Amino acid sequence: MSESINRVVLAYSGGLDTSVILKWLQQTYGCEVVTFTADLGQGEELEPARAKAQLLGIKPEHIFIEDLREEFVADYVFPMMRANALYEGQYLLGTSIARPLIAKKQIEIARKVGADAVSHGATGKGNDQVRFELGYYALAPDIRIIAPWREWTLTSREALIAFAEAHQIPVSKDKRGESPFSTDANLLHTSSEGKVLEDPWEEVPDYVYSRTESPEDAPNEAEYITVDFEKGDAVAVNGDPQSPATLLATLNEMGRRHGIGRLDLVENRFVGMKSRGMYETPGGTILHLAHRGIEQITLDRGAAHLKDELAVKYAGLLYNGFWFSPEREMLQAAIDHSQAKVSGTVRLKLYKGSASVVGRKSPNSLYSAGIVTFEDDAGAYDQRDAAGFIKLNALRLRLLGRRDGR
Amino acid sequence: MSESINRVVLAYSGGLDTSVILKWLQQTYGCEVVTFTADLGQGEELEPARAKAQLLGIKPEHIFIEDLREEFVADYVFPMMRANALYEGQYLLGTSIARPLIAKKQIEIARKVGADAVSHGATGKGNDQVRFELGYYALAPDIRIIAPWREWTLTSREALIAFAEAHQIPVSKDKRGESPFSTDANLLHTSSEGKVLEDPWEEVPDYVYSRTESPEDAPNEAEYITVDFEKGDAVAVNGDPQSPATLLATLNEMGRRHGIGRLDLVENRFVGMKSRGMYETPGGTILHLAHRGIEQITLDRGAAHLKDELAVKYAGLLYNGFWFSPEREMLQAAIDHSQAKVSGTVRLKLYKGSASVVGRKSPNSLYSAGIVTFEDDAGAYDQRDAAGFIKLNALRLRLLGRRDGR
Amino acid sequence: MSESINRVVLAYSGGLDTSVILKWLQQTYGCEVVTFTADLGQGEELEPARAKAQLLGIKPEHIFIEDLREEFVADYVFPMMRANALYEGQYLLGTSIARPLIAKKQIEIARKVGADAVSHGATGKGNDQVRFELGYYALAPDIRIIAPWREWTLTSREALIAFAEAHQIPVSKDKRGESPFSTDANLLHTSSEGKVLEDPWEEVPDYVYSRTESPEDAPNEAEYITVDFEKGDAVAVNGDPQSPATLLATLNEMGRRHGIGRLDLVENRFVGMKSRGMYETPGGTILHLAHRGIEQITLDRGAAHLKDELAVKYAGLLYNGFWFSPEREMLQAAIDHSQAKVSGTVRLKLYKGSASVVGRKSPNSLYSAGIVTFEDDAGAYDQRDAAGFIKLNALRLRLLGRRDGR
Amino acid sequence: MSESINRVVLAYSGGLDTSVILKWLQQTYGCEVVTFTADLGQGEELEPARAKAQLLGIKPEHIFIEDLREEFVADYVFPMMRANALYEGQYLLGTSIARPLIAKKQIEIARKVGADAVSHGATGKGNDQVRFELGYYALAPDIRIIAPWREWTLTSREALIAFAEAHQIPVSKDKRGESPFSTDANLLHTSSEGKVLEDPWEEVPDYVYSRTESPEDAPNEAEYITVDFEKGDAVAVNGDPQSPATLLATLNEMGRRHGIGRLDLVENRFVGMKSRGMYETPGGTILHLAHRGIEQITLDRGAAHLKDELAVKYAGLLYNGFWFSPEREMLQAAIDHSQAKVSGTVRLKLYKGSASVVGRKSPNSLYSAGIVTFEDDAGAYDQRDAAGFIKLNALRLRLLGRRDGR
């Protein structure tokens, strides 16, 4: 770690941990720190981060604060939703999808301010360090990366707080005691893990949930909503056209009210261990189901089945941090190609923890009541064709059966 | 269709349609009909089928009635559950998985009674004809198959009833009017399609549901249950060891009460058209989630991710009728190999339409709180290893970045 | 087959079979026949086909003859080569790739002349009927298709010749005896099957080969050539820029001389049977190897491995006739996305039946001698990173090992 | 590196590098060294390794020398051959497949002698370190691994030789100058890389080849051979039953004579860089082709196509060192399941660098001349079935075409 660093761009939340990192970077590397604080819809004010950075000695022109909510949803969440990506069959990848955008912005700022390094506050056990750093390296192959949690000796809460106090970093009262779990939040989801969640046999305590009503407390009446899609992306809720981030926020509020999108999961991290997390993805869960619903009538079977196979790979790449990789982009090209006609309206029922598709319609529908009907179809489909279809599909099995008996 | 048939084994439900088929076979082919009626847990008495067959002139020794519930769950449903198979991301394959067993039994009976043909009551537009016939052909490559719906001219309800009346087939009053939808049921699920369900924009009417309470009518209190697994198969509910079919019935009752497992789906049939169906899979939905839950802590990541890729193929094969195919058996061999340590207990919460895993434990758990903890891990994991891990995973991306810029 | 047909566009080679079909169509359907004869590089004169069509009563304005060689190579062969597609690990799909183009042209002509039907000369046992007809249906969903080999009674050679003689169709002397095998040829390959090839234990007789010298007769000196690529497509041979069809013809001549591209294969047809064929693909074999060679240094690993997985699916789709399908187009989008930097030069050695890549260079090379070298790499790669890389890749295996022992 | 080591099992070749490692381990760790030297068919005498180890002070009971040739071929090469595994479409994985066996034996010896560490001579840039160490960790999760090339400072040839001379390690004259390339050899292949091969545009010089005649020097007459298979494994050559290792040696000699199995490749290493290697796999190339040949007539299409997809994954796992992983074992279970009927005889022609399958026969053949024939098939296949087969395969494409036009 002896190389000299001149200027480092830090992903800065304004919280205790990244404030300690800020100071530690200044001390350890004797370098200038540039802070980057992004609004990804995590639901926190950003201006306090500015004040705190200034307090810690960061020059005003080196404090970057950006509202990335629309870019986040339009260019990251929506492409992922087109893929119907679920990691390990269930996780909607809410943390994974935010990291590449933060990494990209840090690199842009590093170029703007002539920084030679970037830094983040992710620990050495998790996936986020990988996602940040693969992003940095893909976009700026020769950047220096500083991951304090892998380097420093502040491995206990006490050491961290002692460091903070020794360096005039304000420590709010509620941070003195340790949080009983750790969270990450953005417009798509809130994740919680650690501490009280570490025993996968124990139910997640109520107080861990922050983004959704409990199903028990949700309204006793179901709510019906519609989501409109254009080329695979949601564009309106209940007929009201909305920008990507606004739309996701609208669905979040609906999902929150009805207790939708809670997930208790033990997952496999890229670094090789299992971890237990709890995710709340209210709007994203609705969006995922709605997208599947509109694809049901607008997507051809061949395209749909290929997508189902590719989605497994795609989700794995995102989870592992390979957003900026040729293979993710290849999959995206294939997926996006399939979405040209994925337009129409989906109707969903929200009720006490569940979202269900109850109707879908589209000017591009491939569903043909005239063909599928049990009634007379006026010759649209000749049932005798099925005999030949089956005979030839069976031919190889018959040859096998003759050879092998059963 | 001029070849002469001596004896045909008919999959006979005792209902109007297969009774008409029975008579039509006798008339059209001048052949002896052998009936096979299986109890797969569809929830109907079988003895009336025997009486009706006798009434229609079938010799007692040619009437076969079998309770296949245990075999169905143990040898068909459970292997499929090990795969976490979902067709088109959502459908638990409740109809698909029953057909191969019926086909197998018909062939066994055909051999026993020296029949040269088999017959079924599936129409020429659906998947079931394919599933039955691929099964027949795989097991008895030279069997003759008669699919009356593809051959006869009884294409309207009126014609069918007229034929029945002309041939002294009893037509119950409630069968005179047409059913507003068509169903298939077994221990795993009930499916409904056709008629009132043919417009995919219209919500499924309440009266179509037969296996589950509506979530609104489900208890206001959540119920917590446990499911125990041994080597990938469920063996006990709430600590009570049960045979496969009994266990599924137990979960069905729990699921029914809490309104679990309803699915409104537009799916792609193998014969090339889209159809809209409604499925109720109460116990199967719980089982599927519970199995995923126990795999989360007992299955290695490499095995789990491979399974996720194979599951897409596996589900497609089952849906299309290729249970008795070498490729399904190859996938099963791979899947079963992975299940040796998939044992333990899953705890679920059932509430108003949702089942959720809330805890899992296992003597074979690969989850290690000691490694994943945010606390001091006593050297179980060296965070500095992550730096090298990331660096080498990034190497190719850095070489790309140097070449291509971004 | 009773529907009335007014005008049919026949894929017409000018040979005996399609001449008989022409006459049979006129007779059976009382319809006007429009002929379409394409030059796909099969190496036959097309003008005799015009004369023969006229002789058989086709109006001059209903005789279409087109040189499709450039379109064939640029828009069909090259996209397929970008995919490195091999059916069943070995077959370069020379027949499969030609059918979609012929189908497309027939449909275009049908629209131009107002025809309501199309027809082809492929038999009912092969893949080509499927490839033609899936193409017709995809492009003109309501077209009528006439496949004489599946309809007529001319099932023996004698019947065919008798029909020809009865209808004043000239039968050349060499057609009176049956050919000892059947062939299909275009600029990419010649295939041979049937008769003398039907025993897969018997070596293909020398006289079956028509496009390549036998390796034994090839020059005793190796020839070294170069192929230049731009974005995945070959653009020059030995530094000489050539159009797609010219380039393939050049490579064909080189391959022919050195006995390259012979393949004796038993393959699985889409219709369910195995068949034995012999393929000669001289230039295509060189092209395939050269493309792999240039990808080796210009394609990232992630892209390359994804391509290897997709190539299996892609080849299956092409073989089965699904060129005009959404899923083939999705795969093509992914593949084409990967080719932006696949430019450079490959050097190959041609010698007595083998083509081998012996060198490759590119301005876009990702190969870095500075990193891979056994010599001092001046810090380009830190070998200690490998320890962490291995440790984290091993973590899950260690957890498994602790649980399971070995 | 400060932990104390008592006893280490070193993979010891007897060459200069591992002799230096031996001494370095003694010095650096003050530990007892146990040597393990395996005969995997690399073609070197093993007894000199014993003498050298003794000379370097290893106790006789700590010198382990084993002939692993039969185990290597039967339990590693053959299972891999059943998979038709090729890395990046071309490489037969000759080095990758040997490492797991060596790792396994080292761990067995470590247990026997109570060693707490293992060591190997692979460098920090290559794949072999990963393959060795993933094997060690999978089999002995808590073993200590010492990888001297990643630790020491002997980074130049000169430093290595100086160390050797300073420690009385004999340095043969031909080792004083640097080898112009580096090799690895076993019964399956010889690989060469580095130095003179580092420019991928330069043809591999003749003197690098050691296992095969150049095609130019190979006999002017082709040689025809047969290989017999039982359940996917080769059991006889030219009708002569042979043990696995003997059989591979026989094919190696045949391949050597005819210049078969040379491959010049730029490949993607797991550690993220591209490297250029030259492989000679004479017998393995013949075996691979022969296995594909016998599968052509004995394997069902569904099984064959699934295998083709799995083979890509399987090869990637082997290359990356994941032999002892659940996912490789799952794939193996699927693959082995498919081989039950893969028995019969393949005939090949060997000539000047090429091996080609020219015939195959089997009592289990699924090839049916009676069905595929152009001649009258006596009703074995009804060509009219193809019409229905195509119609239903086309249905979704027609619905698409109606919606989208073209």
| String of DSSP letters for A260-311 | --EEEEEEE-TTS-EEEEEEE-HHHHHHHHHHHHHHHHHS-HHHHHHHHHHH
Most C-contacting residue of A330, A382, A395 (CB-CB within 10 A), to test interface: A330
Q: How confident is the model at residue D180 (pLDDT cuts 50, 70, 90)?
A: confident
Clarify whether A17 is annotated catalytic. Answer: yes
Q: Do B399 and D273 touch (CB under 8 A)?
A: yes
User: Hey, what are B379's tokens?
Assistant: 């050297």
User: What is the predicted pLDDT for the residue at A216?
Assistant: 97
Q: Do B302 and C396 touch (CB under 8 A)?
A: yes
Q: Dihedrals φ, ψ of D128, to 5°? A: -70, -35
Q: Dihedrals φ, ψ of C213, to 5°? A: -65, 155
What is d(CA D139, CA C402) in angstroms, rounded to the nearest whole number?
9
Q: In which region does residue A47 sit, left (phi positive, over 0), alpha (psi from -120 to 50) or beta (all else)?
A: alpha
Q: Dihedrals φ, ψ of A302, to 5°? A: -60, -45
HSE-up of residue B330 (Cα within 13 Å, Cβ side):
29
Q: How confident is the model at residue D31 (pLDDT cuts 50, 70, 90)?
A: very high
Q: Do D392 and A389 touch (CB under 8 A)?
A: yes
Do the beta carbons of residue B214 and residue B259 sit within 8 Å? yes
The alpha carbon dihedral of D54, D60, D63, D69 has a sign of positive
Q: What's the angle, vertex CA B142, arms to CA B140 and CA B147, rounded to 5? A: 85
Most C-contacting residue of B313, B322, B403 (CB-CB within 10 A), to test interface: B403
What is d(CA D295, CA B12) in angstroms, rounded to the nearest whole number?
41
**Interface partners of B (3+ CB pairs, < 8 Å)?**
A, C, D
* Interval D277-319: pLDDT, tens: 999 999 999 999 999 999 999 999 999 999 999 999 999 999 9
Q: Which CATH number fits domain D182-298+341-361: 3.40.640.10, 3.30.1600.10, 3.90.190.20, 3.90.1260.10?
A: 3.90.1260.10
What is d(CA B183, CA B340) in angstroms, rounded to the nearest whole number?
37
Decide if pLDDT at B337 tops 50.
yes
User: What is the predicted pLDDT for the residue at A377?
Assistant: 79
Do the beta carbons of residue C351 and residue C339 sit within 8 Å? no
User: What is the predicted pLDDT for the residue at C330?
Assistant: 98
A13–chain D nearest CA distance, Å: 33
* Interval C295-334: pLDDT, tens: 999 999 999 999 999 999 999 999 999 999 999 999 999 9
User: What is the predicted pLDDT for the residue at D1?
Assistant: 43
C157 or A108, higher pLDDT: A108
User: Hey, what are A74's tokens?
Assistant: 């339009």
User: What is the predicted pLDDT for the residue at A1?
Assistant: 43
Nearest to A403 among D301, D364, D397 (CB): D364
Q: What's the angle, vertex CA B362, arms to CA B358 and CA B368, rounded to 5? A: 85
Q: Chain-wide mean pLDDT for chain B? A: 95
Residues, chain B? 406
CA A318 to mean position of chain CA atoms: 9
Do the beta carbons of residue C27 and residue C50 sit within 8 Å? no
> Residue C345's closest CA among C359, C330, C331, C325?
C359
Most B-contacting residue of D309, D317, D327, D389 (CB-CB within 10 A), to test interface: D327
> Does C18 count as an annotated binding residue?
yes
**DSSP annotation string for B66-103:** EE-HHHHIIIIIHHHHHTT--BTTTB--TTTTTHHHHH
Do the beta carbons of residue A193 and residue A102 sit within 8 Å? no
3-state SS class at B235: strand
User: What is the predicted pLDDT for the residue at D3?
Assistant: 67
User: How deeply is B19 buried, as exposed, middle or buried, from its count of CB atoms within 10 A (0-12, 13-18, 19+)?
Assistant: buried
Four-point Cα dihedral B164, B168, B171, B177, nearest 10: 40
C236–chain A nearest CA distance, Å: 27
Where along chain A do its domains lie?
A: 7-78+93-175, 182-298+341-361, 373-405
A171-175, B14-18, D39-43: the lowest-pLDDT one: A171-175
Decide if pLDDT at B14 tops 90.
yes
Q: Which residues does A319 contact at the CB level (< 8 Å), separation at least 6?
A: A87, A91, A93, A96, A127, A270
Clarify whether A69 is annotated catalytic. Answer: no
3-state SS class at C263: strand
Q: Compute the radius of gyration of chain B from its Cα atoms.
A: 25
3-state SS class at C367: coil
H helix and E strand count, chain A: 15, 14
pLDDT 10s digit of each residue in chain A, 406 long? 446 999 999 999 999 999 999 999 999 999 999 999 999 999 988 999 999 999 999 999 999 999 999 999 999 999 999 999 999 999 999 999 999 999 999 999 999 999 999 999 999 999 999 999 999 999 999 999 999 999 999 988 889 999 999 999 988 877 677 788 899 999 999 999 988 999 999 999 999 999 999 999 999 999 999 999 999 999 999 999 999 999 999 999 999 999 999 999 999 999 999 999 999 999 999 999 999 999 999 999 999 999 999 999 999 999 999 999 999 999 999 999 999 999 999 999 999 999 999 999 999 999 998 888 877 777 789 999 999 999 999 999 999 999 998 7
Chain D residues at the B interface, defined by Cβ less than 8 Å, are 268, 271-273, 299-300, 302-303, 305-307, 313, 322, 325-327, 329-331, 333-338, 392-396, 399
CA D251 to mean position of chain CA atoms: 15
B5–chain C nearest CA distance, Å: 26
HSE-up of residue B168 (Cα within 13 Å, Cβ side):
6
Q: How confident is the model at residue D172 (pLDDT cuts 50, 70, 90)?
A: confident
Q: Dihedrals φ, ψ of C370, to 5°? A: -60, -30
Which strand (E) or helix (H) includes residue A103?
helix A99-113
User: Hey, what are D133's tokens?
Assistant: 């160490």
Decide if pLDDT at C1 tops 60.
no
B376-385, D68-77, D234-243, D279-288: the lowest-pLDDT one: B376-385
3-state SS class at C80: helix
CA D284 to mean position of chain CA atoms: 9
The highest-level CATH class for domain A7-78+93-175 is alpha beta
Do the beta carbons of residue B195 and residue B266 sit within 8 Å? no
Q: Do D296 and C267 touch (CB under 8 A)?
A: yes
* Interval D47-89: pLDDT, tens: 999 999 999 999 999 999 999 999 999 999 999 999 999 999 9
Nearest to C386 among B368, B388, B397 (CB): B388
The model carries a pTM of 0.97
> Residue D41's closest CA among D260, D254, D245, D262?
D245
Q: How confident is the model at residue B172 (pLDDT cuts 50, 70, 90)?
A: confident
What is d(CA D110, CA D31) in angstroms, rounded to the nearest whole number?
14
User: What is the predicted pLDDT for the residue at D126?
Assistant: 95
B389–chain C nearest CA distance, Å: 4
User: What is the predicted pLDDT for the residue at D376?
Assistant: 74
The residue of chain B with its CA nearest to that of D323 is B302
* Interval D79-124: pLDDT, tens: 999 999 999 999 999 999 999 999 999 999 999 999 999 999 999 9
**Interface partners of A (3+ CB pairs, < 8 Å)?**
B, C, D
